[in-house]
Amino acid sequence: MAMDFTAETATDAVVDSFAPTPDPRLRELLTGLVRHLHDFVREAEPTRAEWERAIAFLTEAGHRCDEARQEFILLSDVLGVSMLVEAINDRKEPAATDSTVLGPFHMVESPARALGDTLDLVGAGEPCLISGRVVSVDGTALPGATLDVWQADDQGFYDVQQPGKQPPGNGRGLFTADAEGRFWFRSCVPSPYPIPTDGPVGTLLEATGRHPYRPAHIHFIVSAAGHLPVTTHVFVAGGDHLESDAVFAVRRSLVQEFAEVDDPALAAASGLANPFRRALFDIVLQPVTA
């Protein structure tokens, strides 16, 4: 590097400054980041006031982050970056369950629950039974697979968003599939909800005329020995916002019916009043290949 950095020499000077980076992957990432970021700046020609606004935006976003809130994940989500990273890393066999974004609310450990337990510790929502099997792409059951599940309540809020109001662990559960890879648990039917709009990401959505809603869904991270884990959602078929998810995370393959079921025997066996809503689907994992 020398003195008299200009718009023309800027990028090479900064890229050169990262040349001594010992880790080649870090060097590659920073080189790409600098080249694309500088291209954006040269093309957009931000004024100093716009640059200051960007600094202030990032600072506000940082100040919004705590144990219960992750504004940078929200930002990544609404800019489609989270889903793009998912799409890029989703190099599995087509038969395996599609992945989608992690989202900003997987910040506390889900409490271990027994199969058949309910996630709905409050009992305010419409009860439903969720069940299926965890299998490998060839259909082999995956006994002992773990399912980390979390969802918002019937009002669209996660437990961590309402610490005084919802008991900790409401809407969350860590389940272990049985010897045939089966899982079943109860919950309330999830509702569409707005992502948190009281921070800078909400201000951005407001300023751009975008709505903040996500279609109703339940989050899953499913893992089994010898297989790639999947981070995904199950979306409620027929719900609002499936075509305009604020975080671009809907995949058609993940939309499932939560149909009303009239089955007194199953209702009794599941601890539910008849009739009840039921979602039935399998999670298909891809084996780790050497």
| Minimal distance, residue 251 CB to a second copy, in Å | 6
Shortest separation between residue 100's beta carbon and a second copy, angstroms: 9
- 252, 262, 265, 290: which one contacts a second copy (CB under 8 A)? 252
The reply to whether 289 sits near a second copy by the rule CB under 8 A is no
Q: Does 222 bind a second copy (CB under 8 A)?
A: no
Write each residue from 59 to 98 as x if it is in contact with a second copy (CB under 8 A), else as -, in one continuous string.
x-xxxxx----x-xx--x--xxxxxxxxxxx---------
CB of 167 to a second copy, least distance (A): 27
- 281: contact with a second copy by CB under 8 A: no
Least distance between a second copy and beta carbon 21 (Å) = 4
Local structure of 67: helix, strand or coil: coil
Binds a second copy (CB under 8 A): choice among 185, 193, 248, 258: 248
CA distance 278 to 258: 5
Residues 6+ positions from 208 with CB-CB distance below 8 Å? none
Q: Tell me which residues in 15-34 interact with a second copy (CB under 8 A).
A: 17-18, 20-23, 26-30, 32-34
Taking the least distance from each CB to a second copy, the nearer of 4 and 262 is 4
Q: Which of 247, 260, 261, 243 lies closest to 219, judged by CA? A: 247
DSSP letter string, 198-228: SSHHHHHHHHTT---EE--EEEEEEE-TTB-
Q: How far is the CB of 160 from a second copy (least distance, A)?
A: 16
135 binds a second copy, rule: CB under 8 A: no
Would you count residue 140 as binding a second copy (CB under 8 A)? Answer: no
Pick from 140, 128, 143, 133: nearest CA to 216:
128
Distance in Å, CB of 202 to a second copy, minimum: 15
For strand 213-214 and strand 193-194, is the pairing parallel, antiparallel, or unpaired?
Answer: antiparallel
Asked if 44 is part of the footprint of a second copy (rule: CB under 8 A), the reply reads: yes
Torsion of CA 138, 94, 237, 248, to 10 degrees: 140
Distance CA 185, CA 130 (A): 6
